Chain A
Amino acid sequence: MPLLNALDPHRWLADHGDYLFRVARRQLHSDALAEDAVQETLLAALSAQARYAGDASPRTWLTGILKHKIVDAIRRQLREVEIPRDADGEEAVDALFKQDGHWAEPLRPWGNPQAEAELGQLRRILDECADRLKPVMAQVFSLREVAGMETEEICKELNITPTNCWVLLHRARLFMRQCLEVNGFAKAGAA
């Protein structure tokens, strides 16, 4: 019979499972990987709970463990995938520009939405576009732009060269910008 206190692992799942899943899902871009990360986090927390001093809230403590599990999951993916000088990535970038290096199409201005309803809509588009990137690209991009990790730290953690890391990030930004523009960020008039 599990103890009914803040350190009860079943309470962790009930109280923080959805939150942890959303954080993981947003950075791993895969339901299955995110579910695994939540499970690994809770199991690790169980083993480590003697060391939990209780000075952070359980959610903060669990989120800290989750961050490591997310990086581990991305590292495992990277081992399986050849990065990133893939030909179609290169081609997709080239397609955005003319031969002489100018933009192939003029960029359309974006609005500057403040209303919460509008922001919610944009967040959904943002998530959908990120999900459409190639998995590794999406994950490295999310560590930088969603989790706010420093690029240097990302390269080191994932053991990829700064050049590869940076190529992934730059391409992700180009593709994301394009996807956002096509899917509703562009507005007549503003920004």
Chain B
Amino acid sequence: MKWMTTCKETTELVSRAMDEGLSLGDRVAMKMHLAICTNCRRFTRQLHAMRRLFRLETRANDDAPGLAPEARQRIATELQNRLDS
């Protein structure tokens, strides 16, 4: 058993912690590494910042392009076909 996880292993723990609870052992290993590693602390902050920005973005449903005219026409035709049938 290694006494300290590597950065690569720590990023896996940080990522998994965003999806599910970690075991006590994994949590301790992650925290010990983060306590001494600026890069991995930064990595953790950035993953959370990315998530916040993504969730914010979906709410703001903004200026991204909408349906192309041809697609809109195609869908309208399909709907009409279904209505007529």
Contact = CB atoms under 8 A, between A and B. Distances in A.
Size class of the contact patch on chain A: 35 or more
Given A101-B9, A102-B7, A13 B58 contact: no
Interface in A22-42: 22-23, 25-26, 31, 35, 38-39, 42
Nearest to B64: A22
Contacts of B22: none
Interface in A70-93: none
A103 interface: yes
Nearest to A142: B54
Contacts of A23: 58, 61
Q: Which among A9, A13, A145 has the greatest number of chain B C-beta atoms within 10 A?
A: A145
A107 B83 contact: no
Interface string B42-55: 11011101110111
Contacts of A42: 75, 78-79
B36 interface: no
B62 A120 contact: yes
Interface string B23-54: 00000000000000011101101110111011
Interface of B: 6-9, 11-12, 15-16, 18-20, 38-40, 42-43, 45-47, 49-51, 53-58, 60-68, 71-72, 74-76, 78-80, 82-83
Interface of A: 2, 9-10, 13, 17-19, 21-23, 25-26, 31, 35, 38-39, 42-43, 46, 96-97, 100-103, 106-107, 109-110, 112, 119-120, 122-123, 126-127, 144-148, 151-152, 166, 169-170, 173-174, 176-177, 180-181, 185, 191
